[in-house]
Structure 1
Amino acid sequence: MTDLMTTDRLTLRRPGMQDAAVFAALVGDLDVSRWLTRVPHPYTLADANDFIARVEVCGGNTFVICAGEQVVGCIGTEGELGYWLGKNHWGLGYASEACRAMVDRHFAMTSSDLQSSHFVENAASRNVLQKLGFVRTSQTQARCPATGDCHVLQRMVLTQSTWEMIG
């Protein structure tokens, strides 16, 4: 599989240490990190360097989302589909576009169901996942590392057959 994907407006590429400062700035915004299940706040340059180093060593399926040359977010399917965008890039359709590319990639590699989840208060992520064909499966409590608050986490799943009908 390729290390570079393109969509109409985006390029998805592997992260490198050159991305660490931008990651720290974008995810360091509490308005972003408060919706994530794995990111502390504050999110420091050291956190970004550690994340990128793990991705570089382990390989995997994590990509930087770029609009032109500008880093706008990150996406991956490490166990489940997860993504974030910097706040200035919300509402532009980038999440849906990047997720479509990742779902295509996932089902080109395997026929296994694709999992994802979102905090129930995060209507934007819910809408992205529902547009892709994800359906709700279960709910659980999850602590947000950025805020320390507990939230209801909505788990979702996308099957290959649903993706083939929708995608």
Structure 2
Amino acid sequence: MTEPNDPSKTHRLFPLVLVAAACCVAACGSSDNSSESKISDASAAASAPASSASTAVIDACALIPAADITALLGTSVPGKPTSTTPGTGACMWENQDTYESVTLEIGSPGTAPNNTLPSTDPGFPDGSTPGPDGMRYLGSRQVEFPAGNRSNTVQVAVLKISSDEANAAAVDLARKVGPKVPS
């Protein structure tokens, strides 16, 4: 009787396992799904807004005045766009000497219908606390705010100020950005 770890059996099974793995990989990548593709293309076309602005990436870096960034980071720094997703936008300003930063993210259209943030999922713990003007504090010096029928966030990761001061700065920035967010 041969042992389970007999090299002759392993040697014979290896090509079979290799062929099975290759078939699985080929099956995953070669599916036509033309009917599914047509359905999803039709759905995308039907749900696509008529506005071409929703297909462009939002320049989030232009939404916060440079003077506000300089006041928070202690130096003038350019914003760096961090989103390539059409209809959204994000920007980060970072002081390379201190690694402190301000980050703005503009969410997808419809994520805050009627400029009201959606309630949190009851199946998950909610670490947020209510903020002013329908905003939520998310912790980590970050605030979520509704604007343009979108859920958006601002984070002020500046350690030379207290968490309360960072939250107040985030709320201030959210109030300045809100009217500029496209719907």
* TM-score normalised by length of structure 1: 0.29
Point out the structure with max Rg over C-alpha. Answer: 2
Q: Which structure carries more strand by proportion?
A: 1
Question: Does 1 or 2 have the higher relative contact order (CA < 8 Å, sep 6+)?
Answer: 1
* TM-score normalised by length of structure 2: 0.27
